[in-house]
Chains A and B, each alone.
Chain A
Amino acid sequence: MRDEILHEPEQALHIEDLTVTYGALPALWDIDLDIPPGVMCAIVGPNGSGKTTLLKAALGLVRPVAGHVRFLGRPVSGMRGRIGYVPQRHSVDWDFPTTVRDVVTMGLYRRIGWFRRPGADARNRTIEALREVGMQDYADRQISQLSGGQQQRVFIARALVQDAPVLILDEPMAGVDATTESVIIALLKRLRDEGRTVIVVHHDLTTVQAYFDWMVMLNVRIIAQGPVADVYNAENLRAAYGRQLAMISGADLGTAP
Chain B
Amino acid sequence: MTALSEVLQGGIVQNVLLGAAMLGAISGMLGAFAVLRRQSLLGDTLSHAALPGVCLGFLVAGGRDLGSVLIGAFVTGTLAALSVMLITRRTTLKTDAALGIVLSVSFAIGIVLVTVIQGQAGSGNLGLMTFIFGQAAAILRADLWIIGGVGLAALALVLIFWKEFKIVSFDAEFARAQGLPVAAIEAGLTVMVALAIVVGLQLVGVVLMVALLIAPAAAARQWTASLGAMVTLSALIGAASGAAGALISATTRGLATGPVVVLVATGVVLVSLLVAPGRGLVWQVLSSRRARARISDGRVLATLKGLATTHRDADYPAERGMLQAALGARPPGPRLTGLERRGLIRRVAHPPETTAHWELTEAGHAEADALSGKPEGRGQEDAS
Contact = CB atoms under 8 A, between A and B. Distances in A.
Given A80-B178, A110-B180, A96 B169 contact: yes
A93, A99, A142, A177 — most chain B CB neighbours (10 Å): A93
User: Which bucket holds chain B's interface residue count?
Assistant: 20 to 34
B68 to A, nearest CB: 34
B163 A80 contact: no
A98 B226 contact: yes
A87 interface: yes
Contacts of B224: 97
A87 B170 CA distance: 12
A255 B259 CA distance: 73
A92 B171 contact: yes
A148 to B, nearest CB: 9
A149 interface: yes
B176 interface: yes
A59, A77, A117, A158 — most chain B CB neighbours (10 Å): A59
B226 A60 contact: no
B179 A147 contact: no
Contacts of B229: 97
A63 to B, nearest CB: 12
A77 B383 contact: no
Contacts of B381: 147, 177
Contact of B163 (A85, A93, A118, A147): A118
A211 interface: no
User: Which bucket holds chain A's interface residue count?
Assistant: 35 or more
A114 B230 CA distance: 23
A31 to B, nearest CB: 19
A115 interface: yes
A11 interface: no
Contact of B171 (A59, A87, A150, A179): A87
Contact of B178 (A92, A110, A115, A183): A110
B169, B180, B383, B384 — most chain A CB neighbours (10 Å): B383
B163, B227, B380 — most chain A CB neighbours (10 Å): B163
A98 B171 contact: no
B93 to A, nearest CB: 16
A110 B175 CA distance: 8
A102 to B, nearest CB: 8
Contacts of B225: 97, 99, 142
Interface in B161-199: 161-164, 166-167, 169-171, 173-180
A29 interface: no
Interface in A69-95: 77, 80-81, 83, 85, 87, 91-93
Contacts of A97: 36, 221, 224-227, 229-230
A61 interface: yes
The prevalent SS among residues of B at the interface is helix
Contacts of A87: 171, 173-174, 177
A134 B382 CA distance: 12
Nearest to A177: B383
Interface string B357-384: 0000000000000000000000011111
B174 A158 contact: yes
A180 interface: yes
A93 B226 CA distance: 14
Interface string A155-191: 0001000100000000000000101100100000000
Given A97-B221, A109-B164, A117-B163, A147 B177 contact: no
Interface string A127-159: 000000010000000100001011000000010
Contacts of A118: 163
Nearest to B228: A97
B1 interface: no
Given A77-B179, A87-B173, A147 B382 contact: yes
B3 interface: no
A162 B178 CA distance: 10
A106 interface: yes
Contacts of A107: 178
Given A77-B179, A117-B163, A134-B384, A106 B226 contact: no
Nearest to A84: B177
A137 to B, nearest CB: 11
A234 interface: no
Given A109-B167, A112-B163, A115-B160, A85 B383 contact: no
A81 B169 CA distance: 18
A103 interface: yes
Nearest to A111: B178
B177 A60 contact: yes
Nearest to B230: A97
9 contacts: A59-B177, A61-B173, A85-B177, A85-B178, A87-B171, A87-B173, A106-B166, A147-B383, A149-B383
**What 5 pairs between A and B have smallest CB-CB spacing?**
A80-B179, A85-B177, A179-B383, A110-B178, A180-B383
Interface of B: 36, 38, 160-164, 166-167, 169-171, 173-180, 221, 224-227, 229-230, 380-384
Given A87-B174, A92-B170, 11 more contacts: A59-B177, A81-B179, A83-B177, A85-B177, A91-B171, A91-B173, A97-B36, A97-B221, A97-B227, A97-B229, A179-B384
